[in-house]
Amino acid sequence: MKGFVMSFICPDKNCNKCPRLLEFREVNKDKFPCYYNGAVPSFGELNAEILVVGMAPGLNGANQTGRPFTNDYAGDVLYPILKNNDLAKGTYGKIKNDGFELINVRVTNAVRCVPPQNKVIGEEVKNCGVFLLDELSAMPNLKIILVLGGVAHNAILSILGYRKADFKFKHGEKYKLDKHNLWLIDSYHTSRYNINTGVLTFEMFDEVIKKVKNSLTK
Ligand code: URA
pTM surpassing 0.75? yes
Q: How far apart are CA 35 and CA 57, in angstroms?
A: 12
Q: Per DSSP, what are the bridge partners of residue 108?
A: 53
Residue 2: predicted pLDDT: 58
The model's confidence at residue 9, banded by pLDDT at 50, 70 and 90, is confident
Please state, for a pLDDT cut of 70, what percent of the chain lies above it: 96
By most ligand atoms within 8 Å of CB, the mutation choice from 21, 40, 52, 55 for ligand 1 is: 55
Helices vs strands, H then E, count in the chain: 7, 8
Query: Does the C-beta of 115 come closer than 6 Å to ligand 1?
Result: no
Query: Does the C-beta of 151 come closer than 6 Å to ligand 1?
Result: no
Per-residue model confidence as pLDDT tens digits over 17-54? 999 999 999 999 999 999 999 999 999 999 999 999 99
Please state, for a pLDDT cut of 90, what percent of the chain lies above it: 94
Q: How far apart are CA 96 and CA 83, in angstroms?
A: 16
Is the pLDDT at 214 greater than 50, yes or no? yes
Is the pLDDT at 7 greater than 70, yes or no? no
Q: How far apart are CA 97 and CA 99, in angstroms?
A: 5
